[in-house]
Amino acid sequence: MTGKAGMRSDKPTVPARPRDFAALDQRYRIPRWIRDRLAAVEAHLGGAPSTLQLSLARRLVHVEMLAVNIETQLAAGLEINVQVYVSLIDRAHSLSKTLGLRRTARDVPSLAAIRAEYAGNGTPKDAPP
């Protein structure tokens, strides 16, 4: 097309190579967070998710990212749209339920054990250097 007023272009409106968040530059914090969170969900699914599970896991991570963004705004004292936030939480819960993710109890040390570990040398044995 020539680009005259009122004429439509034949150019596609969608990029030729669709990108998702995983393809973003990993030097930045958000793409790394998405990559790490997606890896954690994949590991929770047994490490070899199906195509459908992977698609749902990506959506779960994206919904979580949006919810975290709203929580950050709230922590900064900004006004948030509670309806949007609650909707995101509900969607994350629904996606995690569809994926079969369940909350499971894990063993945690008692407060006395933690105090005893700190009393020995001031830092726990598994603290980073």
Q: What is the DSSP letter of 125?
A: T
Contact status, residue 117 vs residue 125, Cβ threshold 8 Å: yes
* Per-residue pLDDT in tens (0 to 9) along the chain, 129 residues: 455 566 565 655 544 444 565 566 667 777 788 888 888 888 888 878 888 888 899 999 999 999 999 999 999 999 999 999 999 999 999 998 898 876 666 778 888 888 888 777 665 555 544
CA 49 – CA 41 distance, rounded (Å):
9
Q: Domain-by-domain residue ranges, the chain?
A: 21-99
CA 72 – CA 78 distance, rounded (Å):
9
Q: Which three-class secondary structure state does DSSP give residue 67?
A: helix
